[in-house]
């Protein structure tokens, strides 16, 4: 079965956005056929508006890769060279209390825009993930799992005063204690060669193909997002990424017939996202994308 164009639709029912002092709050890109909408918007303002339009929640799943607050002027190793840990102003710490207030602010909005049975995945290093987990408990989310994402080839520790950082933690949580979350147990077991999948995932960093048009400093591998999406959503579900960056979440969602909404403030990363998404759309239309993670044909209906 080959790709067949479907009728376009707008998951947000043409919701009206207005610019503020903090953000342009505008629709930057859309494709109603494949199901991708990118907004240049502050995620907190965006989610406040979503919750007004859709008080019962709108999204089936959220993946969030928030600022880690680790751009502190330190050093790390990249491509064999010593470089500063400076990803941008958005990643600089303002102190533990203010950082935690920020995490509470955006997580409480995520909780409101999730559907009753929706779930959220949040990635982070030790700089932020403990605050995220505590904030989730404060607002009544139900933590389901914490995943240790192991990176097979991490950068070496140049100062030789710590163990080499080789993992990130990803917390998976339901909207609240009453949520009946989706977990595709059989699919995960099939992916893991017939055995129950554990909470340690060894997945390489993004490859060169994923950085063809450029890269985001905290870009996640598509294979990581594919596993997350296949584990906790169904075909046709609507997925949101409040810090969408280069839209890896969107790439993984579209590949597996889910729909995607992302918010990002930086124009450069929005342009990078559009290039990546448009390449995927062309690939699907040409019939070149033929297999999913289970080796089955991935045919668009």
Only one residue has tokens 């063809």, namely 212
The DSSP result for 34-100, as a single string, is TTEEEEES-HHHHHHHHHHH-TT--EEEEEE-------SS-EEEETTEEEE----GGG----HHHHH
Cα angle value 65/70/76 (rounded, 5°): 110
pTM (predicted TM-score): 0.88
Strands 200-202 and 36-40: unpaired
Res 75: pLDDT: 44
**Bridge partners, 37 (sequence order):** 30, 261
Q: What is the pLDDT of residues 2-27, one digit of tens each?
A: 444 545 667 887 788 899 988 999 99
Question: CA 250, CA 258: separation in Å to the nearest integer?
Answer: 9
CA torsion through residues 284, 285, 288, 290, sign: positive
Strands 142-150 and 200-202: parallel
Q: Average pLDDT of the chain?
A: 87
Q: Which region among 94-98, 201-205, 233-237, 277-281 has the lowest average model confidence (pLDDT)? A: 94-98
Res 167: pLDDT: 95
pLDDT band, residue 223 (cuts 50/70/90)? very high
Looking at the structure, give the CATH architecture of the domain made up of residues 26-286: 3-Layer(aba) Sandwich (3.40)
Q: Which two tokens stand for residue 86?
A: 């400076």
Q: Which two tokens stand for residue 23?
A: 């953000």
Question: CA 250, CA 268: separation in Å to the nearest integer?
Answer: 17
Question: CA of 174: how far to CAs of 65, 180, 300, in Å?
Answer: 17, 8, 30
The answer to whether the beta carbons of residues 59 and 109 sit under 8 Å apart is no
Only one residue has tokens 């880690």, namely 68
Highest mean pLDDT among 93-97, 119-123, 285-289: 119-123
Closest CA to 182 of 144, 135, 148: 144
Q: What are phi and psi of 177, to 5 degrees?
A: -65, -20
For the chain, domain boundaries: 26-286
Closest CA to 201 of 293, 132, 119, 118: 293
Strands 75-78 and 238-241: unpaired
Q: What is the pLDDT of residues 51-110, one digit of tens each?
A: 999 999 999 999 999 998 765 655 444 444 444 445 556 456 678 899 999 999 999 999
Question: CA 76, CA 86: separation in Å to the nearest integer?
Answer: 10
CA dihedral 298, 120, 65, 57 (to 10 degrees): 90
- Radius of gyration of the chain from Cα atoms? 19
């Amino acid at each position: 079965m080959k790709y067949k164009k479907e009728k376009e639709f707008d998951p947000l029912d043409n919701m009206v956005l207005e610019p503020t002092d903090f953000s342009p709050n505008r629709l930057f890109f859309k494709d109603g056929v494949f199901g991708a909408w990118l907004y240049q918007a502050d995620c907190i303002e965006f989610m406040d508006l979503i919750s007004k339009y859709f008080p019962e929640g709108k999204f089936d799943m959220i993946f969030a890769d928030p600022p880690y607050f680790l751009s502190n002027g330190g050093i790390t190793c990249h491509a064999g060279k010593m470089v500063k840990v400076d990803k941008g102003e958005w990643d600089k710490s303002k102190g533990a209390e203010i950082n935690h207030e920020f995490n509470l602010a955006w997580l409480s909005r995520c909780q409101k825009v999730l559907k009753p049975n929706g779930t959220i995945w949040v990635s982070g290093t030790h700089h932020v993930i403990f605050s995220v987990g505590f904030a989730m408990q404060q607002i009544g989310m139900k933590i389901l799992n914490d995943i240790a994402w192991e990176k097979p080839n991490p950068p070496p520790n140049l100062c030789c005063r710590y163990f080499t950082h080789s993992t990130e933690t990803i917390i998976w949580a339901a909207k609240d204690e009453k949520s009946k979350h989706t977990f595709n147990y059989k699919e995960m077991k099939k992916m893991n060669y017939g055995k129950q999948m554990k909470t340690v995932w060894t997945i390489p960093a993004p490859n060169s193909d994923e950085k063809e048009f450029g890269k985001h400093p905290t870009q996640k591998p598509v294979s990581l997002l594919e596993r997350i999406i296949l584990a906790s959503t169904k075909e046709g579900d609507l997925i949101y990424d409040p810090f969408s960056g280069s839209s890896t979440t969107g790439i993984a969602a579209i590949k597996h017939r889910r729909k995607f909404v992302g918010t990002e403030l930086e124009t450069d990363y929005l342009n990078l996202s559009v290039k990546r998404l448009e390449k995927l759309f062309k690939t699907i239309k040409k019939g070149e994308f033929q297999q999913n993670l289970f080796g089955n044909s991935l045919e668009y209906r």
